[in-house]
Structure 1
Amino acid sequence: MRTIVALCSILAFSGCAIIIAPDGNDARFESSWSSNAIKGNGDLQLDKRQVNGASALNVSGPMQVEVRVGGTAGLEISGDSNLLNLVQTQMNGDTQKIWIDEKFNSSNPIRVVYTVPALTEVTSNGSGRMMISGLNGGNLAVKNYGSRSINLDGRVMRLEVVNSGSGSINALGLMSNDARVNVQGSGSLSLGAVNGNELSVSVNGSGSVNASGSVRNLVANTHGSGSAQLSSVKSLSADLSSYGSGSVYAAVSQNVNAQSNGSGSVTVYGNPAQRNVNGRRVNFVN
């Protein structure tokens, strides 16, 4: 609390304010001198809107989002009554778009609950939290740009993820058969059990990825200072590389291609018979 008070005092001189939601989960910086920032009236209200149940969702702006997969299509938005009309919704092809363009200071955080029979794609821009539950076996693509934190729960056949920026994705409660993930920037990604044919991981920047499970083929590379902690993924074969100061950890049982370029390292757990190694910072741990 002292940190927040001190920071508020400093920012007061620059015309900024910190807006903290009542539950303490959302904090936003708004310009207190901005003539077009709309102030919430504190009157909590629920708005129900008609939707077609599109399987692709695009969310942009500072809001808390809950996606419930498996039910009858519906959209509920709650927040200060005079701010609800700032939340725009539109069908764009097969994608349901939900966004906020205006600057605002809210007394109650804006919350969105989107219920859909099936979910195949999610794109997020902005801040806040997103919780996705009930995923039921199809393919899923997630693109997270900005600082939003996303939680995934359920099971999918194939998972594709791009996490760009400082945001985080927690998928420890998600099971998948195959996964291809890319972390760009300083964000983090935690995968649940990947049990199937392939796991492909790419980290660019200072971000991190960790996962568990068992796959036939593992591909992992880092560019920068990031890390790929994959020693809890059992793989038959792997292609591993570190460029820069980052690190890769993997468990391999049969054959591995491993290279380190720079001050980073590749650590292989297991005793694969076939080894193709390039670089002095490739280590094997039996």
Structure 2
Amino acid sequence: MNFPSLLRYVVIIALLCGCDVRSLHPSLQGDGIGKTDYRQISNFTEVEIDGAYQVQWASGPASLTITGDENLLPNIKSEVMGSTLKIRSESSFQSRHGIKIALHSSALVRVQLHGAVNLTAQRISATNFAVVSEGASTVQVDGNVTNLIVEFNGASRFNAPALNSKSADITLTGASNADIAVKDTLKATISGAATLTYSGLPTTVEKQTSGVSSIHHK
């Protein structure tokens, strides 16, 4: 195993085990009884999610459904504040089958994640689209944006080779990695054991690396 791979595993273990000691002894155990909770919400264009969920976003009338263990659903809180939908849990828990969240809104322009969220967003269309992650999350998106901003710290992954952008500003630290497509301008600041892979032929490329980080063009 090479050093970057080893460091990535170390970071993931530290994130999952060191961020919250309560996660080793969840206060709630899932009962294994599946249920879907349909929640009424107003429209939003930004999401902020804290926890460990499987999340899927698509364009459409504002809606939120959460599927998981019946006794855990009341522990998962959601509210729209301004233009931001916030989702979090009141206390640590362990689900038998995982928690799945389905989101719809008119547009999505910003995503902020904490923990170990697995988020998929289809057919993004925005002038500015920003994704910020602290932890070990995975984000997969496609669509078209003018300006892309990615700020990842920890061991997160940004899988977006099918998200076409004109300009991209990418900051990766720790053992994070990103795969993007950019047409005109790329600014990249990569440190630790992070890796950036990009496609396209941007006319302006400004890049800075440190540690054992790397940038690859494909």
Give me the TM-score of the superposition, normalised by structure 1: 0.66
Moved segments of 4+, more than 4 Å:
none
Amino acid at match of 2:209: T
Equivalent pairs, count: 198
Match status 1:123 vs 2:112: yes
Query: Could you tell me how far apart the structure 2 residues matched to 1:51 and 1:155 are?
Result: 26
Match status 1:81 vs 2:70: yes
Cα offset, 1:30, TM superposition: 4.5
Residue equivalent to 1:179: 168
Match status 1:132 vs 2:115: no
Residue equivalent to 1:106: 95
Amino acid at match of 2:35: Q
- Structure 2, gaps ≥5 residues long: 1-21
SS in 2 for 1:60: strand
Match status 1:63 vs 2:50: no
Question: Do the aligned partners of 2:160 and 2:179 also contact (CA within 8 Å) in 1?
Answer: yes
% identical equivalent positions: 27
Cα offset, 1:92, TM superposition: 2.2
Amino acid at match of 2:76: V
Match status 1:169 vs 2:158: yes
Residue equivalent to 1:202: 189
Match status 1:226 vs 2:213: yes
Query: Could you tell me how far apart the structure 2 residues matched to 1:96 and 1:154 are?
Result: 21
Query: Could you tell me how far apart the structure 2 residues matched to 1:227 and 1:88 are?
Result: 39
Give me the TM-score of the superposition, normalised by structure 2: 0.86
Question: Do the aligned partners of 1:170 and 1:190 also contact (CA within 8 Å) in 2?
Answer: yes
What RMSD, in angstroms, separates the aligned Cα atoms of the two structures?
1.6
Task: Point out the structure with the larger strand share.
Answer: 1
Residue equivalent to 1:48: 38
Cα offset, 1:90, TM superposition: 1.4
Bigger radius of gyration, 1 or 2? Answer: 1
Query: Could you tell me how far apart the structure 2 residues matched to 1:92 and 1:72 are?
Result: 17
SS in 2 for 1:228: strand
Match status 1:72 vs 2:46: no
Query: Could you tell me how far apart the structure 2 residues matched to 1:203 and 1:160 are?
Result: 14
Residue equivalent to 1:13: none
RCO greater where, 1 or 2, for CA within 8 Å and sep 6 or more? 2
Query: After superposition, what is the alpha-carbon deviation per residue over 1:198-220, rounded to whole angstroms, capped at 9, x for unaligned?
Result: 11111011110010112221101
Query: Could you tell me how far apart the structure 2 residues matched to 1:189 and 1:101 are?
Result: 31
Query: Could you tell me how far apart the structure 1 residues matched to 2:209 and 2:196 are?
Result: 10
Task: Point out the structure with the larger helix share.
Answer: 2
